[in-house]
Amino acid sequence: MSSPQAALGTLAPARAPSRWRSLVTQESVATLAASLVVAAAVLLPLATLIVSSFLVMDRSGFDAHWGLDNYRALVFDRIIPKAFVNTLVISTGATVLATVLGVSLAWINARTNCPWREGLEPFNLIPFFLSPFVGAIAWHNLAAPKTGLLNAWARDYLGVQGHLLNVDNIYGVIWVTGIFFTPLVYLFVVGSLRRMDPALEDSARTTGAGLLRTTLTVTLPLVLPGILSGAIIVFVTSAGEFGVPFKLGAPYGWETLTTQIFSKAVGDDANHYLGATMAMALGAITAVFVWIQQRVIAPRAFTTVTGKGFRPNVVDLGGWKWVALGYNLVFILVAVVLPILCLFVVSLHPVWEGGIIPRDMSFRNYQKVLFFWSPDSIQAATNGIFNSFILAFAGASIAMVLSLVVSYMIHRTKGFGSRLLDFLCVVPIGFPGIVLAMGVLVVYIKTPIYATLWILLLGYITRFFPYGQRNVSAVMLAISEELDQSSRMAGASWLTTLRRITIPLLKPGIFAGWLLLFIIFLRELSISIILYTTGTETLSVGVYYLVNFENEPLTAALSIAQTVVLLACVVLFRRIAGREALTA
Amino acid sequence: MTVVNAAGTVAAAGAAPYLEVRGLVKTFGADRAVDDISFTVPKGKFLTLLGPSGCGKTTTLMSIAGLHRLDAGDIRVGGTVFTSVADGLFLPPEKRDIGMVFQSYAIWPHMTVAENVAYPLAIRKLDRAEIDARVDEVLRLVGLAAMAGKLATQLSGGQQQRAALARAIVFRPRLLLFDEPLSNLDLKLREQMRVELKRIQREVGITSVYVTHDQAEALVMSDEIIVMSKGRIEQRGGPHDIYARPLNRYVSNFIGVANLLEGRVARVTAPGRGELEIRAGGERIQLPCRLGEGVAEGAAAVLSVRPENVQAAREHRSGPRLEGEVIETIFLGNCVDCRVRWGGFEWKVLAHPRAALRPGERVYLHLDPEHSLAVQP
Amino acid sequence: MSRPSGTRCFLVAGVALASALFASGAAGQAADLTPQERALIAAAKKEGEVTILNPLFSDETGQRLSEGFVKRYGLGPDFKVNNLRKGTGQTVAQVRQEIKAGRFTVDILLVSAPAFFDEAAKRDAFEKLDSAHWKNHEALARKAGQYFNYPYVVVPLAYTFQPVWNISCPGMANFKVDSYADTIGPALKGKTIASDITKSITYTNTALSLMEAGFDMKSFWGKLKATEPIVEFRTEPKMQMVVSCERPFDMWNLSGRVYQNVLKKPELANVLRVGYYKEGQVMLGNQAGVLKGAPHPNAGRLLVEFLLSKEGTDIVVETEATYSFMQGYTPPAKAKPYLLDLSQHKLLGLKDWVAADDRVKSVRDDWITTFK
């Protein structure tokens, strides 16, 4: 064996560096390329919307001239201001409902001795993964005055005259929206509660504060940033929600900004300049809120996370634990079980008249919406299944690659470029899908990607890649920069380091992000509804088509199909990505 | 072997500088983190950059590694330019053949120890047999031969540290950089690893630059120490020099423990010797001492005396009468840390346990002029 | 068809028979192809597919149309007829968008929107048609006051809004409608549906036509509002409300929808009823045009011909229960019970469908004041 000194041997002379080749490194080229791509994808549609808002459509509908009439219409039109007010009311109501439910469920789950609480958690999260549009359809069939299943039972078994519940109004919209977005608040709060250092509460207890006082003066204030973040996200997401008001609000007289934007964009009173103006107005509002959440509230999420594993305090509820369990079970029943059951029952009937008629039941509707080879299949529905899977698969993959690159740029490089990218990543979150889709439509209508799956793909990725990026960032932040640096010192180029060190370590984040995006894309409606055409329908568009042109049972059948697929993905997601993988 | 010259720098006979750092400047916004740093390191020697956090030592290290870009300055290794801002030259880190050991060890958790160590060789496209041989050799050197197949997460802190070192030297780098590698280890392990690291470095003979804030570490391991503060070099010298002949108050305070009192040079009695007048809250006294560099007659200076060079006795024996009251005694096992108040100043004195000094007692402090130093303020 | 006299007739018949035999022998095509149709076949076959955008045809209609179309012209098993169905307003919006962008994903637009077709024709947005069958429709269409603009825009079919109700719902057993007066009144409180005219040009035109005929729409609406109607504009959901008794009476729906639902559940034939208005039935002709610059122009022209031919009309009427302006046309037996005998009813149109567009905003504003 040679001695260490001899082993040192002779070194190859270092290659002298070339002049300013250093500027054009692999890293800087990739950063620039990524920034340009993201900037184009995100800013171009928004810029086009702004420009469009100053174009006023002529009576013929073919020409347009510059003017401020669109903005005047925002204020003076008969319907739009009311739609605006309705949107605010719905958002506020849904936020309140979701916050109350979310915080209470989170507290029960993270901090009490409620029985079976670990098993209950996945069920609490299911509404997040399903389509709120489908939820609205289900609730319509549960609680519409004449045809609702619950009302029928109330009439038959409780002797109620007329109807007990009516979900076909603004309250119905608030109800469904609130329930479906409860998991958003839940996730924010439950994470905070679980990771809180028990010493923070213990020290309060040692000074003499009882449980209630500790909870109110220590626990809740520390969790408040999480609650506020969740609430804002729910507010913003509700404002941008299209499916629920479309089903339960607009037909019964309650228009919202999203249903009006839809009408103006591609619907029946088509005036996409006015649609752009409204989209901008909606976008401006949501963007402001999201900015507040990102820059003002999230940084204040006090560092209660120390990284050391420990068990947080658990409150003994005594006999009340059964009440807590009941509460949680009722939530799951109402939010998940009841709607799915109802949809299933309705889907088995050829025509739905409000009552269960066993002799009418069959699976024929499933045949019509799923069996694309069958002669009486409905094209819009069967197309949707294929297209949604293709879009979800391709979209999630492309979006994750983009997320990876962007996350790396943001967290591993310094300077103006990374700050710009950070900002660009928040922008799409601030704009509802319908707004972004409008922009995408107007920008790309003259290009070859119009009326193909590509334009849908573009819309999806632009809107949702920040979600993938956040998953990756969360893991990346936990990985010390030194792991990359030591690879560089060992002689690996930037690209090799990315390939052999960074990406393998990020695998959990990458996979979690991919699956989350897959699910989001499968159930996406707002973007699809603006950008689809024959042949490029998606699952949700198929449901929309059935709502418009076919009857409730067929709609229910496709809705159930979509729900089953989404649930299967959720199970897979939890199994592979683990408990803490959902980052909001 | 080494020669200590008058300036206190270490130079091997006939050794040319191997690492040359000239005029480094790095600013972050308005903050000058590295403010015109220059030094050289001969081949095979161990230099420590010592200072508190924020003094610029890590930034300097990162600049040598190529992980940070400079605003001004030159870095040359073995005659080859690595960075030259003036000429617009910059060699990317992966091309510098520099081994680096990080504070967090940065062992990749998804690879085994052997794979971690083999990584740099795989990048350099050595063949399998060669890689295996070298990995084996280096793991033996650091004492981790038995852990080759284990995943990083299965290793203790000290073992990860050794693995990091193995990885850094396996490709025979021209230079070895250490960024506070021992600060995450507990005390006993730290003391052990200091000696280990030094041994390995000496055996392999790679030129090394080590960054730390722990002065004990610096004293144990270095051939030469550079004390830094606020982006500038305060003093450079061998461990003994730095300890016995600090240049100024900052260095005195940073290295070891010292009693520091402000004063004025009353007179110079011989080259490098004189009398310093010190005062503290009403008390004043003139003490004979050695004069440090740059301390002239009449100039303001600071008296620096190590606690082990102060004797406390119940009777006055000779020399100036320095009388004080014992405030506190702290038993340290092998000696007693006594605090003696004199005027407004609290002297730190290391006394033998058998002296059995007690708080409240009046004692006389005796200083050895050979070990009392007047330094720049 | 015109009736030439004597020998000429015989000769023509002989030639027609001969050419029909020739044609059928040549490519297994239908026997009565006109020269115009034949001229388009080869090119259409090469184009391989055609897309028709319309708010009307269900999947089944589309399928049968496709089969009939392919069979009649021998276009081969690979030929595809794409039936793209969107709401009235949406079809117009999409085509307008595509005309402006110069990029077309549809070949034919079939929808009731006279003002739009006129404007589009002015902008030279349609292919010139050389139709053999159109002349069979022209006279009746003109008589019914419909808008058309040959050779660019024709009217292959029409529908009209009729009252529809469900006698099995509570209080509806003896319900009957033959006048607008029957649609309002305290007995109908909570039972009605008001069609949102702001969302559909066909409702608006129906209202305008009635107003032109002297009907006081505004006060009618006031009375309708008093019955607390549900406001909706999509025909199928309104039909669903009638079927489920959520709202047992819809004053403006299509007999075609009733027909489709009966096909789904035959028992409904016993409970669903369709009426008429003696004040007048507003015939809403659906205009059709082939877009200039469309990807499959020849197939498009051929499909329009098909829709105008007896065979095509039969298919559509049988599946959708629509009306045709074809001279001497008798609808197939299956659909007949759902169709009015137009000769027995007062038919309304508009003097100038295009100019009526100016009045759209004011009538919609009136409606909004009442209902929103």
pLDDT tens digits, B224-258 = 999 999 999 999 999 998 988 889 889 988 888 89
Query: In the predicted model, is pLDDT for residue B347 greater than 60?
Result: yes
DSSP string, A432-445: -HHHHHHHHHHHHT
Answer whether A17 sits within 8 Å of B164, measured CB to CB: no
Confidence band for A521, pLDDT divided at 50, 70 and 90: very high
DSSP string, C277-344: -TT-EEEEEEEEEEBTT-S-HHHHHHHHHHHHSHHHHHHHHHHH--B---TT----TTTGGGS--GGG
- A413 contact residues in B (CB cutoff 8 A): none
Q: Chain C residue with minimal CA distance to A82?
A: C372
> Which pLDDT score is estimated for B14?
42
Q: What is the pLDDT of residues A35-61, one digit of tens each?
A: 888 888 888 988 988 898 899 888 777
Same domain, C188 and C104: no
- A480 contact residues in B (CB cutoff 8 A): 104, 106
* Look-up of token digits 């608040």: A185
Confidence band for A215, pLDDT divided at 50, 70 and 90: confident
Same domain, C209 and C333: no
Lowest mean pLDDT among A262-271, B232-241, B267-276, C320-329: A262-271
Going residue by residue through chain C (372 aa), what tens digit of pLDDT does each one get? 344 445 554 555 545 444 444 444 444 455 678 888 888 888 988 999 999 999 989 888 898 999 999 999 988 888 989 898 888 877 888 888 888 888 888 999 999 988 889 989 999 999 999 888 899 899 888 888 888 988 999 999 999 999 999 998 888 888 888 889 888 888 888 889 988 888 788 899 899 999 988 889 889 999 998 888 888 888 888 998 898 888 899 999 998 889 888 888 888 888 999 999 998 899 999 999 999 999 999 999 999 999 999 999 999 999 888 999 998 888 888 888 888 887 788 888 888 888 888 888 889 888 888 887
> Which pLDDT score is estimated for B76?
93
Query: Is the whole model's pTM more than 0.80, yes or no?
Result: no
User: Complex ipTM, two decimals?
Assistant: 0.75
Nearest to B111 by CA among B155, B145, B142, B171: B155
Residue A490 buriedness (CB in 10 A; 0-12 / 13-18 / 19+) = buried
Tokens read off for A346: 């309705």
Nearest to A276 by CA among A262, A290, A287: A262
Query: In the predicted model, is pLDDT for residue A583 greater than 50?
Result: no
Q: Give the domain ranges of chain A.
A: 27-52+86-581
Answer whether B94 sits within 8 Å of A19, measured CB to CB: no
Exposure letters C195-215 (e unless 16+ CB within 10 A, then b): bbbbbbbbbbbbbbbbbbeeb
Tokens read off for C341: 């005998």
Q: Chain B residue with minimal CA distance to A489?
A: B94
> Which pLDDT score is estimated for A99?
95
- C245 contact residues in A (CB cutoff 8 A): 146-147, 353-354
Q: Chain A residue with minimal CA distance to C367?
A: A78
Confidence band for B178, pLDDT divided at 50, 70 and 90: very high
Same domain, C319 and C363: no
CA distances from B12 to B9, B18, B180, B285, C40 (A): 10, 12, 26, 44, 99
Question: Which of B88, B103, B120 has the CB atom closest to A19's CB atom?
Answer: B88
Answer whether C244 sits within 8 Å of A145, measured CB to CB: no
Q: Give the domain ranges of chain B.
A: 2-249, 261-375
Confidence band for B183, pLDDT divided at 50, 70 and 90: confident
Q: Chain B residue with minimal CA distance to A492?
A: B94
Same domain, C357 and C367: yes
Q: Does residue C5 lie within any of the structural domains?
A: no
Same domain, C154 and C218: no
CA dihedral sign, ordered A123, A127, A131, A135: positive
Whether B67 and chain A come into contact, CB under 8 Å, resolves to yes
Q: What is the pLDDT of residues B51-73, one digit of tens each?
A: 998 889 999 999 999 888 899 99
CATH fourth-level superfamily of A27-52+86-581: MetI-like (1.10.3720.10)
Same domain, C147 and C279: no
Respond yes or no on whether the N-terminal peptide bond of residue B120 is cis (omega within 30° of 0): no
CATH number of the domain bearing residue C98: 3.40.190.10
Average pLDDT over residues B139-146: 91
Three-state SS at A131: coil
Count of domains forming chain C: 2
Neighbours of chain A (3+ CB pairs under 8 A): B, C
What's the mean pLDDT when you consider all of chain B?
A: 87
- A351 contact residues in C (CB cutoff 8 A): 243, 261, 264-265, 268
Helix, strand and coil content of chain C, in percent to the nearest 5, comes to 50, 15, 35
Reported as type and span, the H/E element at residue C116 is helix C114-122
Q: Helical H runs in B111-211?
A: 113-123, 128-142, 157-169, 187-204
In CATH, the number for domain B2-249 is: 3.40.50.300
Backbone angles phi, psi at A192, to 5 degrees: -55, -50
The nearest CA of chain C is from the CA of A187 a distance in Å of 37
Confidence band for A434, pLDDT divided at 50, 70 and 90: confident
> What is the C-alpha to C-alpha distance for residues C136 and C143, in angstroms, rounded to an integer?
13
Q: Alpha carbon A435 to chain centroid distance? A: 15
Average pLDDT over residues A470-491: 84
- A5 contact residues in B (CB cutoff 8 A): 203-205
Q: Chain C residue with minimal CA distance to A349?
A: C265
- C359 contact residues in A (CB cutoff 8 A): none
> Which pLDDT score is estimated for A340?
94
Query: In the predicted model, is pLDDT for residue B85 greater than 80?
Result: yes
Point out which residues pair with B330 in neighbouring strands.
Answer: B337
Answer whether A482 sits within 8 Å of B106, measured CB to CB: yes
> What is the C-alpha to C-alpha distance for residues C215 and A49, in angstroms, rounded to an integer?
43
Same domain, C210 and C346: yes
Q: Does residue C1 lie within any of the structural domains?
A: no
The nearest CA of chain A is from the CA of C101 a distance in Å of 6
Answer whether C58 sits within 8 Å of A451, measured CB to CB: no
- A545 contact residues in C (CB cutoff 8 A): 85
More confident residue, B136 or A415: B136
C191 C-beta neighbours (distance < 10 Å), count? 25
Contact present, A557 and A347 (Cβ < 8 Å): yes
Q: What is the pLDDT of residues C19-32, one digit of tens each?
A: 444 444 444 455 67
Domain that holds residue C259: 160-283+340-371
> Which pLDDT score is estimated for B2?
36
- C268 contact residues in A (CB cutoff 8 A): 351
Q: How many helices (H) and strands (E) does chain B have?
A: 8, 23
Same domain, C201 and C310: no
Q: Give B62's contacts (C-beta < 8 A, 6+ positions apart).
A: B68, B179
Nearest to A463 by CA among A505, A517, A507, A535: A517
CA distances from A78 to A74, A82, A255, A268, C10 (A): 9, 7, 11, 16, 66
CA distances from A501 to A406, A493, B171, C40 (A): 17, 11, 18, 64
Q: Does residue C92 lie within any of the structural domains?
A: yes
Backbone angles phi, psi at B311, to 5 degrees: -105, 140
> Which pLDDT score is estimated for A577?
63
Answer whether A7 sits within 8 Å of B172, measured CB to CB: yes
The nearest CA of chain A is from the CA of B371 a distance in Å of 40
C and B touch per CB criterion (3+ pairs under 8 A): no
Same domain, C218 and C313: no
What's the mean pLDDT when you consider all of chain A?
A: 83
> What is the C-alpha to C-alpha distance for residues B255 and B234, in angstroms, rounded to an integer?
12
Question: Which of A268, A351, A446 has the CB atom closest to C199's CB atom?
Answer: A268
Question: Which of C93, C198, C246 has the CB atom closest to A146's CB atom?
Answer: C246
Contact present, A344 and A560 (Cβ < 8 Å): yes
Whether A548 and chain C come into contact, CB under 8 Å, resolves to yes
Point out which residues pair with A231 in neighbouring strands.
Answer: none
Q: Does residue C114 lie within any of the structural domains?
A: yes
- Amino acid in the structure at residue C251: M
Q: What is the pLDDT of residues C234-257, one digit of tens each?
A: 888 899 889 888 889 999 999 888
Answer whether A491 sits within 8 Å of B103, measured CB to CB: no
CATH fourth-level superfamily of B261-375: Nucleic acid-binding proteins (2.40.50.140)
Same domain, C200 and C244: yes
The strands making up C249-253's β-sheet, listed across from edge to edge, are C249-253, C162-166, C272-274
Tokens read off for C276: 């008429």
Q: What percent of chain B has pLDDT over 70?
A: 96
> What is the C-alpha to C-alpha distance for residues C280 and C213, in angstroms, rounded to an integer?
9
Q: Chain A residue with minimal CA distance to B92?
A: A22
